[in-house]
Amino acid sequence: MTIQERITQLKTKRHAVILVHNYARGDVQDIGDVVGDSLGLSRQAARTPAEVIVFCGVHFMAETAKIISPEKLVIVPDPNAGCPLANMVTVRELRAMKAKHPDAVVVTYVNSSAAVKAESDVCCTSANAVNVVKSIPEDREVLFVPDRNLGYYVSKQLGREMILWDGYCPTHQRIVPEQVTRMKQAHPEALLVCHPECPWETLALADHVGSTTGILDFCAASDATAFIIGTELGILHRLRKENPGKTFLEVSPLADCPNMKLSTLEKVLWSLEDLVHEVTVPADVIERARGAIDRMLEIS
């Protein structure tokens, strides 16, 4: 029996569903029941009748699944799969900033901890951040947490000043305009598609800016046959798998998130065998964080 067959067998036994992020290892994506972005996966988790959710991503994603489906057992293959961006804001720091700006609406990117979401007025994703901020009255200050690059992109799209938290995704921060320019010169026929977590100087060179789902949809619908992909390298597996007649080029081998690669087939198997490692969120945090997520979904 192969490891994939054993996983399938145990998944049935445990009444489990395997959710895999677009940035995960290719072989892990291939055994996923659903592959997608962090919020999309959590919403799928809420719809599934499965009793156990195996979340192959990073910790804040599994927390979001637990917030949306508190009655289900949520486990992660590797408890060390954290997110440096999410770690760049703490509850203590956010409360201090809120005290300095008591009238500001706190808009928090879903790439954040459950505890930080619970301190927020509304959440957003990279796909709906513009619409979420646009829904806030112009006479209100907006404190955007924690990704300064996504926040600056939203600010430029809306022509609106915001208070930007000084956080960033190290992987996307490494996608710099110098690399992009070299790739565009070497492949003039290719369209540059970037995630809004990239620096603004890089986004200004892009033919299209979108979330992971937006990138997948754009590349599938486009008549172009070659694309330079400005986001984490894991998405290339799905792009190539779903678009066999097209060419997808990485901007840089440095655009690789080690945390997203911590989920392996062996760890998925072990997590199903022993039902580890459980992700828990306190009930009061779930209640407050769910409010911020629900407000986002109402706007979307």
Q: What is the pLDDT of residues 116-149, one digit of tens each?
A: 999 999 999 999 999 999 999 999 999 999 999 9
**Which domains, from first to last, does the chain contain?**
3-81+260-280 (3.40.50.10800), 86-168+286-299 (3.40.50.10800), 171-256 (3.40.50.10800)
Peptide bond before residue 277 is cis, with ω within 30 degrees of 0: yes
Q: What is the pTM of this model?
A: 0.97
Contact 116, 90 (CB under 8 A): yes
pLDDT at 300: 76
- % of the chain exceeding 70 in pLDDT: 100
Which band of pLDDT confidence, cut at 50, 70 and 90, is reported for residue 42? confident
Query: What rounded mean pLDDT belongs to the chain?
Result: 97
**Structure token digits, residue 174:** 């490494």
The residues, any chain, with a CB within 8 Å of residue 197's CB and separated by 6 or more, are 85, 126, 147, 149, 150, 168, 169, 172, 231
Length of the chain, in residues: 300
Q: What is the DSSP string of 180-245?
A: HHHHHHH-TTSEEEE-TTS-HHHHTT-SEE--HHHHHHHHHH-S-SEEEEES-TTHHHHHHHH-TT
The C-alpha atoms of residue 36 and residue 34 are separated, in whole angstroms, by 7
pLDDT 10s digits, 253-273: 999 999 999 999 999 999 999
pLDDT at 46: 87
The residues, any chain, with a CB within 8 Å of residue 18's CB and separated by 6 or more, are 7, 11, 31, 32, 33, 34, 54, 56, 268
The C-alpha atoms of residue 233 and residue 21 are separated, in whole angstroms, by 12
pLDDT 10s digits, 52-109: 999 999 999 999 999 999 999 999 999 999 999 999 999 999 999 999 999 999 999 9
pLDDT 10s digits, 281-292: 999 999 999 999
Report CA-CA distances (Å) from 68 to 16, 46, 75, 283, 298. 16, 6, 14, 12, 15
